[in-house]
């Protein structure tokens, strides 16, 4: 299950993680985000214990969204050692997302 990440928990959950972290920036009103949601949940299940998968609701957590220049959603960022190492904008197939995340394990 993807972890809900907030402005308040971002530092601890994402930047201080000892594992790669995939973060899905989304909003409830965003159609493509709703299409990507189940894919993110599958990736979260597949990578349990190997990587952290989380979601940031951009409407409720605007500071993190501004900090990382999120202008289009869905946007998926992959972090390793507190740094953004990869980015996917828009809906992508599960295989593409999984392959990118795998490359940072």
> Cα-atom radius of gyration of the chain, to the nearest Å?
12
Q: Is 53 annotated in the active site?
A: no
For residue 33, indicate whether it is catalytic: yes
Query: Which residue is catalytic, options 14, 23, 33, 70?
Result: 33
C-alpha 3/C-alpha 75 separation (Å) is 16
> Of residues 3, 27, 30, 92, which has the active-site annotation?
30
Per DSSP, the residues of 13-55 read IIIT-SS-EEEEEE-TT-HHHHHHHHHHHHHHHHTTTTSEEEE
Query: Any idea which residues carry the catalytic annotation?
Result: 30, 33
């Amino acid at each position: 299950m993807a972890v809900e990440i907030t402005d308040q928990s971002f530092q601890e959950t994402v930047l201080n993680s000892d594992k790669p972290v995939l973060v899905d920036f989304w909003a409830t009103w965003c159609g493509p985000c709703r299409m990507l949601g189940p894919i993110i949940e599958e990736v979260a299940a597949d990578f349990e214990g190997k990587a952290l998968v989380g979601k940031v609701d951009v409407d409720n957590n605007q500071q993190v969204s501004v900090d990382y220049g999120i202008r289009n959603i869905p946007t998926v960022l992959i972090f390793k050692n507190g740094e953004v190492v990869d980015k996917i904008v828009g809906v992508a197939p599960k295989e593409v997302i999984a392959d990118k995340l795998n490359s940072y394990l």
